[in-house]
Chain A
């Protein structure tokens, strides 16, 4: 079992397209807030919140809470552990397709 988690664990974690989408967006960017993610993934507050919590519990992402113009704002960043796990997952997907060198979007 790798440090990033076993393949079945990663498959289970990224089974949801919302969670996979969150990881993809954060891997493609820097720090994204809740509203940005909600619009990017076209999902609801409750759904997104649940999946963000799951990923945070797994140590895949980190959150930062603050107030902007007196309104609460939560932004998210991929953790180093999460980045490695995500890369491992992308590599495994590529391997299943026979693309051993990995996928370009792994970034």
Chain B
């Protein structure tokens, strides 16, 4: 790549100016493309959160109890997920401004909502699980919507995961907690698989 390693003469000629502009455009486009891949970290987490909460709602509307330990599991799931997302973003070699802002804003919003929900639980002002799952669902949907602007291919992955989740729920109709645990396990496994695949490509963490 001689043109990128050597010093070039001044570019007074139109051809050289055109070459320089093309070079600038190429580097900017390539950088944005590479950074778009980092978007996958936050977007996957948003997608998985949506699926997890959708499953929780499905179970709730099916008449199964989703309070107590299950609620605690969902909270832990989100705490771990968002913390991991922010740590990974902090370590990434390049992160687009959009991804950085979206993740921080939603992480902050999620945190604030937890405070509100826990305060409500403490004062017994609201029915616990229904409110926060709905709010979490909205957050996840917003995050995924924002993220898909950068990586449309993840929609396919999200759809596949959803299709795969349904049989799991249906297979264990008598034990919502057990089904949820399996679902969460599969979600973590998939998240780990995606992270591992990205790391193998050498584009995940510098």
A-side interface residues toward B, CB under 8 Å?
11-12, 14-18, 20-21, 24-25, 27-36, 39-43, 47, 68-69, 73, 75, 90, 93-94, 96-98, 103-105, 107
Contacts and interface: CB of A to CB of B under 8 A. Distances in A.
Nearest to A22: B27
A23 B125 CA distance: 55
30 contacts: A14-B20, A15-B8, A15-B10, A17-B3, A17-B6, A21-B4, A21-B27, A24-B23, A24-B31, A28-B28, A28-B31, A29-B31, A29-B35, A29-B94, A33-B94, A36-B34, A40-B30, A43-B4, A68-B91, A90-B21, A93-B17, A93-B21, A93-B24, A96-B11, A97-B14, A97-B18, A103-B21, A103-B24, A105-B29, A107-B28
Interface string B99-115: 01000000000000000
Contact of A105 (B28, B34, B95, B100): B28
A30 B11 contact: no
Interface of B: 1, 3-12, 14, 17-18, 20-21, 23-25, 27-32, 34-35, 90-91, 93-97, 100, 202, 206
B1 A73 contact: no
Contacts of A33: 93-94, 206
A58 to B, nearest CB: 16
A69 B202 CA distance: 17
Given A11-B10, A24-B23, A29-B32, 8 more contacts: A25-B28, A28-B29, A33-B93, A36-B94, A69-B91, A90-B21, A94-B17, A96-B17
A33 B34 CA distance: 13
A69 to B, nearest CB: 8
Contacts of B23: 17, 20-21, 24
